[in-house]
Amino acid sequence: MTDRWVIHLPITAPDLHRARIFARTAARVLARLSARVEPGGVTVSAEDQQNVRHWVFCDRLLPGGSRCALPVDHTSPCSRCAPWLNRR
């Protein structure tokens, strides 16, 4: 048996757009609590079509080996960091 387990945490939303927003928010909050979150693997699906997954983050490979942290449908250039996360 593997030493890794995956958490499936159903959170409902009224449409794909808001499901992606909720999923991104949940992933970012959980990532701040633990380094074990893999945002690039986050997907959402319709409740009655859970085998049809929609990506939440872009996750394109960037120079240097990091991944794009922006939403899957972003129009700006790919970035390792979402700019709104770095405000302090």
Per CB under 5 A, residues contacting Zn ion are 58, 60, 68, 70, 78
Phi, psi values for residue 86, rounded to 5° = -95, 5
User: In the bound complex, what is the minimum distance in angstroms from residue 22's beta carbon to Zn ion?
Assistant: 20
Cα angle vertex 75, ends 77, 43, to 5°? 100
User: In the bound complex, what is the minimum distance in angstroms from residue 53's beta carbon to Zn ion?
Assistant: 18
User: In the bound complex, what is the minimum distance in angstroms from residue 12's beta carbon to Zn ion?
Assistant: 27
Tokens in use for 62? 């960037």
